[in-house]
Structure 1
Amino acid sequence: MQIMNRKRRVWLVILAVGIAAAWIIFIKERFVMNELSPTVSFVQHHMTNPNGTLGTYLKDAPSEDADIVAGREALSESLGLWMQYAVAKNDQVLFEQGYDLLTTYFLMPQNYIAWKLDAEGTSHVTTNALGDDFRIVGALLKAADQWEQGREEKLATASDIVRTLTQSVRNKGYYVDFHDFANGHSPDTLSLVYVDLRALQAMEQHEMLEPGTYAKYESLLKSMPDDGLFYPKTFNVETKKYTYDDTINLIDQLIVANHLTATDRTPDKLIAFLKKEFNTRHRLPGQYKRSERIPAVSYESPSVYGLAILLAVQSGDPKWAKQLYNHMITMRSLDNAYPGGYVFDGNTHLFDNLFPLLGETELNKFLEKY
């Protein structure tokens, strides 16, 4: 009997030690993940221009083509992602800084958002980018719902932008990729990465769109074909046909898949493929050959992992999200001169820092529910 009691006490001690160790690991992981990401500090100290705009590349370079971003030029894409991060992190001060950048530099007198500025904050383009506009408007509406301060002003700004989009950035009754406000030209293509259903839903809920607009674009994504795995790149608003790229960019696929999670059409095939690829290769190459389903490149993109984390979170899959996160942060701070940054060969693109930052932030919020 004494031997049995002794064994029971030993097992109880072992069990208690195991539980304590597991709890310590859990608390440590939760504490580390909820600290302010070092990527924020990297962006603020190394990717921010003197006027507060966000440079696209770490290294400066002259602009040789107005249609191609270079060096420290600033993008509306970056501003939208930064504003989304501020809302997700519940950082009102940071959001207000982004809002000031929007109204001071990016918002043109015709109430469209210039897609690109030079490092000094001057626009040399006369076009917008629909997906960036939707992202910014979505962030404005979330901020207006989240914080009372400045609510009416942000709603008014969002309404002005949406009104311009509806009046000018449409063709055949559909929003299209851009409008050239200098010559009045709009294309006949709508890139599916731009069909931001959550932003469109918020616009309709705030009565900035005609009733039924959201349902129209929801149907567009729900009814789009796939090739058995990958999604098309564009929808032609005149012919109503979808087109595919021969080389698939995973960033595009993941953005469309994240949009789809707002519907009842789940991106199961893509998720299953990505999980298999990650388990087999222990990485996700940035591009794939569509017909062969094999990598077209050897490089990895931090943006792919950030977007895949967002997809895992939207799909309610914390295990996969944490696997992706743990791999993603092995790519961070590799350059000792730029802690917190996803810097390779002395350079980086800003979205390769902002998408990972968004994924990390949403994962932290997701894990807090457990």
Structure 2
Amino acid sequence: MANRLSTSKIILLSICIAAVIASIIFISYTIIDHKENPDVTAVFMKEHMTNDNGTIATYLKPAPSEHPDIVAGREALSESLGLWMQYAVLSENQTHFDDNVRLLTTYFLDQAPKSYIRWKLRSDGQAEVTTNALGDDLRILDALLKAYKLWGQEEYLQLAKDIGTTLKASSQTAGYFVDFHDFERDESAAVLSLVYVDISALREMRNNGILTTSDYKRYEDLLLHMPSDGIFSPKTFRIASGQYEYDASINLIDQLILGIHLAEMGHPPKELLLFLKEEFQQNQRLFGRYNRETRKPGTDYESPAVYGLAMILAIKTNDLAWAEQLYDRMIQFRGQERAYPGGYVFDGNTHAFDNLFPLLAETLFKHARK
């Protein structure tokens, strides 16, 4: 009787141990998959950063808008739409892409009298602005034209041509696109922010007959001939005077996006890359802003968007080893709040681009390592 009882206990204990081991293995695989699967951030965006009408909220937390020209709370930006469309193309998900085209044509696109994209909407999809944002427009055009190349839908090409025609007719000064145009007042900005010179989009526009070759070359020359202070690039090009202008406080997001454009031209920003690698090696982090004169951090905050963009720049320059280091730092900020797995959430809030840029970077990285 005692031996039979002892045998039963051993069997029960063995079953319990096997169950514990199976649970540990399952949890381990779940953690690994969570770490290396960019889709967890996409799921977070769909579950927590999507308004009832399908538009992407700028912030997780609702907040009232105090001025039409300043984004707040669950308001939606054309910037987020463009990044979300680029992710759909990169992940080759046509259903997701078509959902975003519907959002573009239903809410963001004003087609009377010209097809321009409103840069901001209320959470209910209504617009209180009559201006576009060049950088967002070009990102959306880039996604549309690459989607046309991938899936061959004429609708994408025609939509891109309509938007591009409006840009050329209304948002140019002396042959250059400008930061924005107010379609109600018929007034344009006097400057072109260099971060908006989206070489990938402009090249696609040239390849599809929306821009001429000479138009495209004008933008390449603009970037190739801009000055450098030894590390950082100027912020804007003032069209009337032909002068490049710097900011005293350097926004690293701007520098990284501009660096990506340069890398796509085959002219990577070597001085910026060297500076960033040295910064990361010394501090094991990158900061959101730097003082242009001292080269010292101008803030103590880190941004997932900065790490995502730095990863993209590293990938564009075939430096996967550095991209891996940036990736390891970036995902330390993901899933810190248990209520929002996959999200880059801090103190109950986050900005859409602090999730979308990491999502794009991680997806690109996944492709690059294959």
The counterpart of 2:289, out of the listed 287, 297, 306, is 287
After TM superposition, the structure 1 = structure 2 runs for residues 1-370 of structure 1, keeping only pairs within 5 Å, are 35-109=37-111, 110-148=114-152, 151-368=153-370
Matched with 1:4 is none
In 2, Cα distance between equivalents of 1:316 and 1:30: 25
Q: Deviations over 1:45-96 (max 9, x none)?
A: 0000000000000000010011110000000000000000010111111111
In 2, Cα distance between equivalents of 1:257 and 1:236: 20
In 1, Cα distance between equivalents of 2:344 and 2:278: 25
Structure 1: which amino acid aligns with 2:201? A
In 1, Cα distance between equivalents of 2:118 and 2:317: 33
Structure 1: which amino acid aligns with 2:164? V
**Alignment check: 8 A CA contact 2:38 2:359 kept:** no
Structure 1 residue runs without a partner (length 5+)? 1-26
Shift of 1:213: 1.2
Partner SS, residue 54 of structure 1:
coil
Partner SS, residue 229 of structure 1:
coil
Structure 1: which amino acid aligns with 2:143? A
Comparing 260-269 with 177-186, greater Cα deviation is found at 260-269
**Alignment check: 8 A CA contact 2:35 2:331 kept:** no
**Alignment check: 8 A CA contact 1:33 1:364 kept:** no
Partner SS, residue 248 of structure 1:
strand
Shift of 1:211: 2.6
In 2, Cα distance between equivalents of 1:211 and 1:293: 38
Partner SS, residue 297 of structure 1:
coil
Q: In the superposition, relative to structure 1, how do residues 28 and 223 fare at CA in structure 2: closer, same or farther (>3 Å)? A: farther
Shift of 1:214: 1.2
In 1, Cα distance between equivalents of 2:110 and 2:161: 14
In 1, Cα distance between equivalents of 2:96 and 2:298: 38
Shift of 1:210: 2.1
Instruction: Provide TM-score, normalisation by structure 1.
Output: 0.90
**Alignment check: 8 A CA contact 1:222 1:263 kept:** no
Shift of 1:44: 0.2
Structure 1 residue ranges (4+ consecutive) displaced by more than 3 angstroms after TM superposition = 27-36
Q: In the superposition, relative to structure 1, how do residues 123 and 290 fare at CA in structure 2: closer, same or farther (>3 Å)? A: same
Shift of 1:212: 1.3
Structure 2: which amino acid aligns with 1:278? F
Structure 2: which amino acid aligns with 1:256? L
Q: Deviations over 1:317-370 (max 9, x none)?
A: 0100011001100000001111111011110000000000000000111111xx
Q: In the superposition, relative to structure 1, how do residues 58 and 32 fare at CA in structure 2: closer, same or farther (>3 Å)? A: closer
Shift of 1:34: 6.1
In 1, Cα distance between equivalents of 2:119 and 2:354: 18
**Alignment check: 8 A CA contact 2:286 2:306 kept:** yes
Shift of 1:173: 1.4
Q: Deviations over 1:14-66 (max 9, x none)?
A: xxxxxxxxxxxxx9999777645211111000000000000000000010011
Structure 2: which amino acid aligns with 1:120? D
**Alignment check: 8 A CA contact 2:78 2:136 kept:** yes
Structure 2: which amino acid aligns with 1:60? P
Matched with 1:5 is none
What root-mean-square deviation, in Å, do the aligned CA atoms of Structure 1 and Structure 2 show? 1.5
In 2, Cα distance between equivalents of 1:29 and 1:320: 23
Instruction: Provide TM-score, normalisation by structure 2.
Output: 0.90
The percentage of aligned residue pairs carrying the same residue is 54
In 2, Cα distance between equivalents of 1:174 and 1:215: 11
Structure 1: which amino acid aligns with 2:119? W
Structure 2: which amino acid aligns with 1:104? T
Comparing 291-300 with 204-213, greater Cα deviation is found at 204-213
In 2, Cα distance between equivalents of 1:274 and 1:52: 37
Q: Deviations over 1:100-131 (max 9, x none)?
A: 10011000022000000000001110000000
In 2, Cα distance between equivalents of 1:30 and 1:96: 31
Q: In the superposition, relative to structure 1, how do residues 30 and 62 fare at CA in structure 2: closer, same or farther (>3 Å)? A: closer
**Alignment check: 8 A CA contact 2:190 2:240 kept:** yes
Structure 2 residue runs without a partner (length 5+)? 1-28
